[in-house]
Structure 1
Amino acid sequence: MHLSPSAEATVADELAVVRPDLAGAYEAALPAARSAVLSRLWRGLAHEPLPWVAGREPTSGGLVVRLADGRRLHGPPPDPYATAAYVTEVLLDGRAHRRPAALMAALGVPHGDAFAAELDHSTASLALSRAGRPGAAREPVASWEWEQRVVDGHPYHPNCRSRPGFSVAEQLAYGPEHRPLVRLGLVAVDDCLVRGEWPAWLRDGGRPLIPVHPWQRAHVLTVPAQDGPPAHPLMSLRTLALAAGGPHVKTAVSARLTSSVRDISVGSVETSAELSGFLTSVAARTGGLLHVTRTLGAVSARSPDLAAVLREPPDAYAAAAAGERVVPVAALPLTGLPASAARLGSLARLALITGLRLLDLGVALEAHGQNLLVVLSSSGEPLRLVYRDLADIRVSPARLARHGIKAPDVAGRMVTDDETVLRRKLFGSLVAGALASAAGSGPALRAALETAVRDLPRTPDVVALRQEALPAKALSLMRLSPRRPGDLWARLPNPLVPALSPGEP
C-alpha cells in the first residue's frame, strides 16, 4: 500500500493556513507521536490473537513475532501496561520501521490498508494535540478541567487520536485537549421520544430542543438549528460541560472516533431512565463507595444522529468545602498520584472492592479511565468512586436474582449470565484499563494489585482475577476485522501470575 498523501503532510499543510504559529511545534512533535502510536501498535502485535501471527518468541533482546508467511518482526520486550512510548522502531525481516502506518502497510495483511490510514491519521492528530496544548496554568478545580489536560487520548489504542472527518481547524476548535469553548446548537423537534425530565431551558414552547454538537450541525444535520449555550468538551469530545454549570450534555457525533461511531441509539434513550434508576439503586449497596451520575433526561428525534442525554456532573459527589475534587482515572497521572505507590494501592483496593461487589450483585461495569472517576481528599487520598455513561454495562439476571434484585428491562446485548463475558467486561476495563493506565507499567500495576487483593475474599471472581490471564480488548484486531461486530479479546500476562509469559493463552 502507498500512503499518499500522508496525513502528517496534510495536517502540516492545513496548519500552515489556519495556525501557522503551531507549524514548528507540530513538526517537532511528530517523532514522539510516531513512537507513541508505534508503542501501542507493538502491544497489539505482541499480544493479540492476530490470525496471521504464527508464534511469538521472547529473546534476550526483546520479542520476535513470527508471521504465517515466514517473515519475522523484532521489537523490544513488550510491556502491555506501559503508557510511556518505548518503541522507536520495529524490524520487519531486518528492515527498520519507525512509522506505524508504514509498518502496517508493509505487513500486507487483510484490511491493513484501512488500518494503516487510521494509524497515519492518529499519529498526525496526536502530534497536533501535543503541539496545540496550552501552556501551564493553575491546577484544575472542576473535573472537566482535569479532562482537558489529557492530551494523548486512549492509553493503549493505536488510534488514540484518530479523528477522520475532522479538519485541522475542527480538531483545534472541538478537541478537548485544546481547551476550547464551543457553542452547542439547538434543534426544535415536534415529534420525539423523551425520557426523564427535560428542563424548561431546553424547550421552545411545547417542543423539546435537542442539543447538537457543532460538528454534527455542520456536517450531518439537514434541519436548521439555533445557537445554544457555550460548553467545554470533555474527553469523549461529544460530551460537554455547560460553561454556566449544570448537567453534562452527551450529544450525537456521527464520526468514527478511536474505534466507534459516536451516535446515540433510540433504544438507549428509551431505556435511559430505567437503567439509571437501576444502577443507582445497585450502587447504593456499596456503602457509599460508589456513586453513579444519574441520567436526568434523554431525548431522541427517533434517529441516532439527532439525540442527546443530560446527566449529573460528577463534581456533585465531592465536598468542595472540604477540598475534595473529582478526577477521571485517566487524568490521575497528571495529579502526581502514581508517584505514591501507597496511594496507587489504595486506589486499586477501592476500585476492586467496589467493582467486584457490583459484579457479585450482577452488574459488570465498563470502568475504564474515562468512565471511572475518583473523589480525592484535599491531600490526594482516594475516597470514593464515581461512574458515568451507562450504555456499555452488562447485567446478569441470575446473579441479580440471588440477591433479590429485579433485572432491568434493557437492551438484550447488555444481558448475560456468561461468567467469561461478565469478567471480561469488568477486568478488561478496570484492571487492564483504568488501573493499568494509572500505574503506567506492568511492575507498578503488579505492586498495586498485590496490595489490593491481599484481603479480598476468595470468591470465584477473585480467584479468576488472581490466577488467569487478564482480558483486554484486542484493539488492533478489531480494526482489522471490520466484518466482525462486537468486541474481540486478547489475554494479557497477569502481573499477579509471573509464570504467564507474553502471548501465552
Structure 2
Amino acid sequence: MHRPPTAEARMAEELAAVRPALLPRFTAELPGARAAVLTRLWRAFAHEPLPWITGRVRGAHSLALRLADGRTLYGPHADPYATSAYVTEVRLDRAREVDPAALMTALGVPDGACFAAELADSVASLALSRAAAGHPREWPEHDWEWERRVTDGHPYHPNCRSRPGFSVADQLAYGPEHGPVVKLGTVPVPADGCLVAGDWPAELRDGKRLLLPVHPWQADRVLKRSYDPWRPARPLLSLRTLALPDGPHVKTALSARLTSSVRDISPYSVEAAAPLSALGEELAARTDGLLHVTRTLGAVSAGSPDLAALLRESPEVYAAPGERVVPVAALATTALPESPGWLAAFARLALTVGLHLLDLGVALEAHGQNLLVVLAADGTPLRLVYRDLADIRISPARLARHGIAPPALTGRLVTDDEPALCRKLFGSLVAGALAATAGSGPALGAALSAAVPDLPGTPGLRALLHGPLPAKALTLMRLSPRTPGDQWTSLPNPLVLEACRSDQ
C-alpha cells in the first residue's frame, strides 16, 4: 500500500524546490525538533487531566502513565516549567517512541489523528524555523528584530510551530523568524457597512470607502480576491501582526490556525477596542510609571472576522534613548535570565504590576507575546509594556470599588469570578511568561521566593502563595474540539517546592 509522504518529507521536497541550500540544515535540525515537541507533549501527559490516562506512578528515576486500554507509557520525570528539550524518547510498553506524531498515532485516542498531523507539522516547521534562523546581534535596534529571535514559538504547546495551510514558501515569506519583509495590501469596503472604532487614518480612506490592510496570505487563500499594494511591514510573533517602518503595528485578520485556535478579528473585538484602550490608559496611570499599555489607534470590521484590521501603537514609543523594549518571549535568547538576581528583579517587577492590576479589577493575559519589558542599557528591567487587550478579564465590581468606571462591555471579557481572574493572570504570567524565562521549576521557584517578600500582601498574592498553579491544559484543549473555551490544569506550585527545598 502506498503511504502519503510525512510532513517532514513533504517539507524537505518543497524546500529542495524553493531554498535548496537550506535543506542540509533542515535535515540536521529534525532530531532536535522532534525532541522539543516530544518534551512539550510529555509535559501534557504528565500534568494535564487527559481522560485516557488513568494513573501516574512516579518512581525513583522515571514516570509511568497507566492508560485506560491497559498499556503503560514510560518516560522521565516531567518538570512542568522546563523549556529545554530533555525528552528524547518514551516507551509505550516495550516500543520505543522518538517521534511525537508517531506516538500520538500509536496511542489511538479519540481525536488523536488530527492532533498527530498537527504534531508532525509542528516538528517540520520547527526544524525549518531553526534552520533558517539568523544570528542577530545581542541587542537589536528594532522590535521586529527581537521578535524574529523566537524561533521555537510557544514554550509549552506541542503545536509550538504548527502552521497548517502554510507551504514552505509561505513560511519563508511570512514567518517572523525568517526576517522577511511582507508587502501588505488594502481592500476597499463601503464605509457605511463597517464597524469602526477609534480614528481610522485618512491614508486608509477613499471617499465613502475604507481601505482595510490585508495580509497577502489572507487575500489569496481566504478572501480569494485581489488587493492594492500598500506598505511593507515586518511580521511579529503573532504572525498576523506586523510592524510598519514608521512604528504603528497592524493587526490583520490572518485566519490561520496557530497552536490552539483559528485567529481572526471578531466584530466583538473591534467593538471592544476603544473602551479597552481607554481602560488600559487609566490602569497604567495607577502603576507609578511601572506599566505602559499600547493604545489602539483604530479598528475596523467589514462585517466578517475574515475582513478586519486594527492599528496599534508600537511598544517602542515607550523606550527612552538607550533603552530597549523586549518581548518577554525573547528574553530567553539573551544571557539575562542566567543571573538569579536579574531573574528575581524581573519577577518582582512583573508580579508587582500584575497583582496590582488584579486587585484593581483587571487580569492581564500576560504571556510572553503580550508582555514586554523595558530594559536599561545594562539590561536592568525598568518597567513593562502590555499590548493587545483582546483577551484580558475585567471585574466590574473590583473596578467600581477602586473608583474606576467599568467599560460598557459584556461577554467573555467580563467576570467577577475570583478563580477565573486568578487563572487568567497566574496561568499566563507565572506559569507562562515567568516560567519560560526562568526555564525550569527550580529557577522559577528561586526567583519567586526572592521576589515575594517585597510584594504587597494583596488577596491575589495570598492566592498565588497557596495551592497549585493554574495553567491552560493546551493538549487537552486540542483533543477536545467539541468543548469550547479554555480548559485548565493544576501544576505544582514552584513557591511551595522552593520552600520545601529551603527547609531541607
Structure 2 length normalisation: TM-score? 0.96
Note if contact 1:366-1:425 (Cα within 8 Å) is conserved in structure 2.
Answer: yes
User: Separation in 1 of the partners of 2:351 and 2:143?
Assistant: 22
1:53-77 Cα offsets, whole Å, 9 max, x none, are: 1111111112111112221111111
Structure 2, unpaired ranges of 5+: none
1:360-402 Cα offsets, whole Å, 9 max, x none, are: 0000000000000000001100000000011100001111121
- My pick for the range that moved more, 35-44 or 273-282, is 273-282
1:447-470 Cα offsets, whole Å, 9 max, x none, are: 110011112233322112111101
| Equivalent residue number for residue 213 of structure 2 | 211
Structure 1, unpaired ranges of 5+: none
Note if contact 2:445-2:497 (Cα within 8 Å) is conserved in structure 1.
Answer: no
1:377-432 Cα offsets, whole Å, 9 max, x none, are: 01100000000011100001111121121211224111111111100000000000
- Helix, strand or coil for the counterpart of 2:255? strand
| Equivalent residue number for residue 311 of structure 2 | 310
| Equivalent residue number for residue 52 of structure 1 | 52
User: Which structure 2 residues correspond to residues 61-460 of structure 1 after superposition, within 5 A?
Assistant: 61-137=61-137, 139-190=139-190, 191-242=193-244, 244-320=245-321, 323-460=322-459
User: Separation in 2 of the partners of 1:70 and 1:460?
Assistant: 44
- Helix, strand or coil for the counterpart of 1:300? strand
User: Separation in 2 of the partners of 1:349 and 1:233?
Assistant: 31
- Helix, strand or coil for the counterpart of 1:413? coil
User: Separation in 1 of the partners of 2:86 and 2:160?
Assistant: 16
Question: What amino acid is the match of 1:169?
Answer: A
- My pick for the range that moved more, 135-144 or 155-164, is 135-144
Note if contact 2:257-2:263 (Cα within 8 Å) is conserved in structure 1.
Answer: yes
1:216-247 Cα offsets, whole Å, 9 max, x none, are: 011111443101100000000000001x2131
User: Separation in 2 of the partners of 1:326 and 1:68?
Assistant: 48
Structure 1 residue ranges, 4+ long, deviating more than 3 angstroms after superposition:
135-139
Note if contact 1:148-1:179 (Cα within 8 Å) is conserved in structure 2.
Answer: yes
User: Separation in 2 of the partners of 1:140 and 1:499?
Assistant: 35
User: Separation in 1 of the partners of 2:454 and 2:94?
Assistant: 49
CA RMSD of aligned residues (A): 1.5
| Equivalent residue number for residue 13 of structure 2 | 13
Note if contact 1:216-1:252 (Cα within 8 Å) is conserved in structure 2.
Answer: yes
1:170-195 Cα offsets, whole Å, 9 max, x none, are: 01100000000010010111132221
Note if contact 2:394-2:415 (Cα within 8 Å) is conserved in structure 1.
Answer: yes
Question: What amino acid is the match of 1:42?
Answer: W
Structure 1 length normalisation: TM-score? 0.96
Question: What amino acid is the match of 2:357?
Answer: L
Count of matched residue pairs:
497
- My pick for the range that moved more, 277-286 or 31-40, is 277-286
- Helix, strand or coil for the counterpart of 1:208? strand
Kindly state the Cα deviation for residue 22 of structure 1 after the two structures are TM-superposed: 0.8
Q: Tell me: CA distance 1:138–1:343, structure 2 relative to 1, closer, same or farther (3 Å).
A: closer
Question: What amino acid is the match of 2:38?
Answer: L
- Helix, strand or coil for the counterpart of 2:405? coil
Kindly state the Cα deviation for residue 4 of structure 1 after the two structures are TM-superposed: 3.7
Kindly state the Cα deviation for residue 3 of structure 1 after the two structures are TM-superposed: 7.8
Note if contact 1:494-1:500 (Cα within 8 Å) is conserved in structure 2.
Answer: no
| Equivalent residue number for residue 31 of structure 1 | 31
Percent identity of the aligned residues?
A: 68
- My pick for the range that moved more, 221-230 or 257-266, is 221-230
- My pick for the range that moved more, 101-110 or 220-229, is 220-229
| Equivalent residue number for residue 477 of structure 1 | 476
Question: What amino acid is the match of 1:279?
Answer: G
User: Separation in 2 of the partners of 1:248 and 1:100?
Assistant: 36
Note if contact 2:355-2:458 (Cα within 8 Å) is conserved in structure 1.
Answer: no
Kindly state the Cα deviation for residue 498 of structure 1 after the two structures are TM-superposed: 2.1
Kindly state the Cα deviation for residue 270 of structure 1 after the two structures are TM-superposed: 1.4
